[in-house]
Amino acid sequence: MKHGMIVAMNNDYSDQNTELAGLYPAHLDTVRQRHDHALDKAGASHAVIFSGSSRYVFLDDMAYTFKPNAHFVSWLPLLDLPLSYIVYTPGEVPRLIYYQPRDYWHVVPGEPEGYWTGQFDIRVVHSIEEVAAHLPGDRQRCILIGEINDAAHAFGIDRVNPTTALNILHYGRGIKTGYELACMRLSTRRAVAGHLAAAAAFREGKAEFDIHRAYCQAVSHTDSELPYGNIIALNEHSAVLHYTHLDRQPPRQLRSFLIDAGAQVHGYAADITRTYAHKDSRFAELIARLDELQLRVVQRVQAGIDYVELHIETHRLLSEVLVDAKLARGSAETLVETGVTAAFLPHGLGHLLGIQVHDVGGHMQGESGAVIDPPSGHPYLRLTRVLEENMTLTIEPGLYVIDMLLDKLRDTAAEDHVLWDGVEWLRPFGGIRIEDNVRVLANGRENLTRDAFSAAA
């Protein structure tokens, strides 16, 4: 976002920004503590966090959309500030080297403003060469965090992205602060407005492209401002897990609609999926069954739950749905062990959510970086940790007709457990996915998504 657009978004959320302003200092204290710990373990005195730089199309002067370093965003709600640096030394006020180029070809960042400014020693620079004067003199005592595509941007700092420090920071980011949770509630409310607009466009018979435009209008995002590319899938397109093609013409016969779309506020993402039937009552009943399954899984979320076990339990519950919907036959144990449920649901139950949609640290056992691998037969599970209070994650079971996966069941012990006539019925509808964003509590959960839909209603 350009500076003027940042101001516009802040105006849209002026009341909420009062709340965020009150929560931000405590959030920054947590970020500082994590960096204190990371620096201590890395044997360094200063952390330099680089916002990132623009990349250009090969043999062209057009840049790709700038995406900031998530570590930079964890300190500041600034998403369009390339070539800028945070310098953190324990016990000192963090320094922001704010890059404001002199440029009449593009809109450049305006003067620093917002609830965050009082927490930083801000140094405005107008050229990259000016940065060096504001960095620590003892570069050998620095670590640099960020993607360096040009060695000049490291300014002689040799220790770039040291594993010891990153492991500590990534593991810590799994637990959200009050400020981060407030941002995510706002982004969820924003996304829900888009989902309601998209559902209305679907009921009007619009094409995927036009549904997508209705969504973006409702959330006030350009495509590049979305936290990920919208999945707007009609009919059999719903079986393509990351479908982003966007047909310009509506299908001749409308059957189903799957939308996986999010929004962001100050860099914190929402990630929501819903599925709708056009007129077919049998498909509508199957959506209702999966929605019931999803809520049952959400009700299991609380601190101390092993997410891997929750994922496997979801497959057992899915087996019941498959049997009742006449898509498969056999016991839950048989359908899971033979890979039938995995063919219908090949992706993981969910993932950590935050600054990044698939937030870091999902497989980490602890700060050492030791990894908890996904269980055998479920390679795409992105979260394998035991749940802790104030983790925020997605719960997103699905059910799809993916022929390349179902065909692998033929000539195996699983083939006779699939009711192929049922598969033929479901194929034109593509599939179903229901996804909520859920905060873990000590003895329960906060369903950000359902709360936002209820508030909108």
Q: What is the pLDDT of residues 14-62, one digit of tens each?
A: 557 889 999 999 999 999 999 999 999 999 999 999 999 999 999 999 9
**What CATH number has the domain spanning 3-172?**
3.40.350.10
Per-chain mean pLDDT for the chain? 95
The pTM for the full model equals: 0.94
Q: pLDDT tens for residues 59-86?
A: 999 999 999 999 999 999 999 999 999 9
Element (H, E) at 47: strand 46-50
105 pLDDT band (50/70/90 cuts)?
Answer: confident
The average pLDDT across 435-449 equals: 98
Q: pLDDT tens for residues 286-310?
A: 999 999 999 999 999 999 999 999 9
**Block residue for tokens 């698939």:** 358
pLDDT of residue 15: 56
DSSP label at residue 447 = E
Structure token digits, residue 409: 């069941």
Tell me how far apart the alpha carbons of residues 137 and 127 are, in angstroms, rounded to a whole number: 19
Considering only residues 104 and 74, tell me which one the structure prediction assigns the higher pLDDT: 74
High-pLDDT (> 70) share of the chain, %: 97
CATH architecture group of domain 178-456: Alpha-Beta Complex (3.90)
How do the domains of the chain map onto residue ranges?
Answer: 3-172, 178-456
CA 436 from chain centre, in angstroms, equals 12
Same topology between domain 3-172 and domain 178-456 = no
pLDDT of residue 12: 45
pLDDT surpasses 60 at 2:
no
Question: Cα separations (Å) of 347 from 71, 335, 355, 363?
Answer: 27, 16, 21, 15
pLDDT of residue 9: 33
pLDDT surpasses 50 at 213:
yes
pLDDT of residue 107: 87
Question: Cα separations (Å) of 312 from 241, 294, 440?
Answer: 20, 13, 19
pLDDT surpasses 80 at 13:
no
Do 419 and 282 form a contact (C-beta atoms < 8 A)? no
pLDDT of residue 14: 52
pLDDT of residue 17: 80
pLDDT of residue 398: 98
Element (H, E) at 316: helix 307-324
Coil, strand or helix at 268: strand
Short-list 438, 431, 454, 450, CA closest to 290: 431
**Block residue for tokens 């941007």:** 153
